Each structure stands twice: as C-alpha cells, then as structure tokens.
Amino acid sequence: MKTDRRKVVLIGTGMVGMSYAYSMLNQNTCDELVLIDLDRRRAEGEAMDLNHGLAFSGSHMRIYAGAYADCRDADVVAICAGVAQKPGETRLNLLKRNKEVFRSIVGPVTESGFNGIFLVATNPVDVMTRVTYELSGFNARRVLGTGTALDTARLRYLLGEYLHVDPRNIHAYVMGEHGDSEFVPWSQAMIATRPIRDIVEETENPVQMEELDRISEEVRGAAYRIIEAKHATYYGIGMAMTRITKAILGDENSVLTVSALLCGEYGQNGVFAGAPCIINQDGVQRVLKLTLSEEELQKLDQSCGILREHYQGLE
C-alpha cells in the first residue's frame, strides 16, 4: 500500500457516509477523497459542499465525485451504501436487498484493480462484511467491518461517566454481533491495569455490578433510542470509521473492535464478528485473544450462531 498519498473512496454518500467524510476532512485523515453514490448528483453536491469548507480546515484534501475506476489506486474503499427497511419488511428481506446493492458495488471495485482495504459500515454490518469478503475474493485480513467499534466507544464513555474516570483510561470492549446479541466481557474490563470486577468486589465500594449491567444494556439499546429521537445515527459511526481509517493509513497497530473473520479464535470459525483486533496498513494484522470466562465464551458462541444463521438465510 502507498502511504505517500492517502486515498479513500467512499461509496454511499448518505448520512453515515457524509458524517465519515466530514470527520475525515476535519481530522485531515487522507489526501484524496472520492465520493460515489447511485445518486450521482448527490455525490457531486456533497463534494462541492465539503470543498467549500476546505479553506476553514487544516487540510489540503482533494475531494470529488468519482467513478468505480477511481478505486484502482485507493488505500481504503469504505462502503456505507444501503437501502432502508420498508414498513413491515423482514430483516432477511432487507438483507437480501442489501446483498444485491453490494453485488453492484463490490464487483466494479475489484474489477478496477483495487488492492487496498475494504471497510464496511452498512448494517447488519457483520453479515455485510462477510458478503463483501465472499464477493471480493480478498484475503479476509483486508476486509473489515465497523463491528462493535462504536458500541465500545459508547461503553467507555458511559463507564467513564459512572466511575468518574477519563474514558481513555478505561479498557473495556463490546464483542460479538453489532446488535442485540452483543455483550461486554466484564472479566476483561479495566481501569488502567485494575480489573473493574475487583473494584466491584471491594467492601463498602459504591460501584455495583447491577449498575455495570445497566450500562451494558444502555449500550445495546443506544441506537434504538437515538433512532427514536432523530430517526438515524450517523456522527458516532462516522467518527468510528475515521478512527479505523487512521489506524490503517497510519499503519498504527492500534487495538479496535472491528468485525473480522474469526479463524479459530475463541473457538469460532468462518464467521465475521466484533472482537479486539490489531489494525494496521494490512487491515486486520491479527485478532487479539482475550482470556474470556466460560460464560463469556458461551455468549460469544451464541452471538456467532445468530450471525451464521443470518448469513445462511441469504444463501
């Protein structure tokens, strides 16, 4: 991968895609940003709008509405395109329609000669990442989804509020499906190097396990509550995508909970699910193997079982 001129192609310039683009512009994440959408005029309008903000940013980014041929020399192709659920439509039917959307995207991207990293945000993200992997024929390490990156950020924020600790000093992860079966392995949650569970067990400690469970419940339901209030979620996921993109373009070896293909880790095989991974310019350098308890392994197994079922429903 070339790191001299960092190039990102964004496919799907809706709310999520443009939150990602806006956040990348403000954080000077890449040098060239190409916008692609089924609605070409929308992509053009978005490119104009962002370009008019360039003078106020610290970035020299080249931004334009492009075509699939522009993926040829890109470092990252990010997919945020998707169709919305119709009233009364089943989840499986939505999945089937999104698979068709991805067929119309991933084929032209790979035909362009693209040789970088796929980053997928479209929901259900773990299944759509697996669809991208299957359609592209890429090495699994070069196909990743946003997974539980956003859920993990929400968890760290809420724990920080509850424990009165800077979220950056809280090391805790959400694992499994980005969805209802996700879970927090509390055995692996730390403030600095101190296990949060030890703090809970201290006598006369105001930190309660019930409160921690309430927090994990709040993380699981966060998207529902935001959607109830404002119909969609996009800023948080846009920033999570920017963080992952920076880790790739900067060859950072950062730990992020992306959706990656599990190949024996945690006893799981052939499924894309959220797990802490080391991310660098090659994509998923490796999946980190945390020492989960038996109960946590069972939760992950259940979550992966659900993801397998969803994928098999598509076949």
Residues that bind ligand NAD (CB under 6 A): 11-17, 37-39, 42, 80-84, 101, 104-105, 121-123, 125, 146, 150, 178, 232-234, 237
CB of 136 to ligand NAD, least distance (A): 15
**Of all residues in this chain, which one has the CB nearest to ligand NAD in the complex?**
14
d(CA 83, CA 304): 24
CA dihedral sign of residues 275, 279, 282, 287: negative
CB of 30 to ligand NAD, least distance (A): 19
User: By C-beta, is 11 or 140 nearer to ligand NAD?
Assistant: 11
DSSP string, 135-172: HH---GGGEEE-TTHHHHHHHHHHHHHHHTS-GGGEE-
CA distances 85 to 88, 106, 124, 171, 308, Å, are: 8, 21, 11, 35, 21
CB of 49 to ligand NAD, least distance (A): 14
CB of 214 to ligand NAD, least distance (A): 22
User: By C-beta, is 126 or 191 nearer to ligand NAD?
Assistant: 126
User: By C-beta, is 1 or 65 nearer to ligand NAD?
Assistant: 65
User: By C-beta, is 40 or 62 nearer to ligand NAD?
Assistant: 40
CA distances 254 to 81, 208, 227, 251, Å, are: 26, 31, 30, 8
Burial 207-226 (b: 16+ CB within 10 A, else e): eeeeebeebbeebbebbeee
Residue 140 token pair: 């699994």
User: By C-beta, is 83 or 209 nearer to ligand NAD?
Assistant: 83
Compute φ and ψ for 97, nearest 5 degrees: -70, -35
178 labelled catalytic = yes
Number of Cβ atoms within 10 Å of the Cβ of 310: 18
CB of 4 to ligand NAD, least distance (A): 29
The catalytically annotated residue of 60, 178, 231, 310 is 178
Local structure of 42: helix, strand or coil: helix
Question: Active-site residues: which are they?
Answer: 178
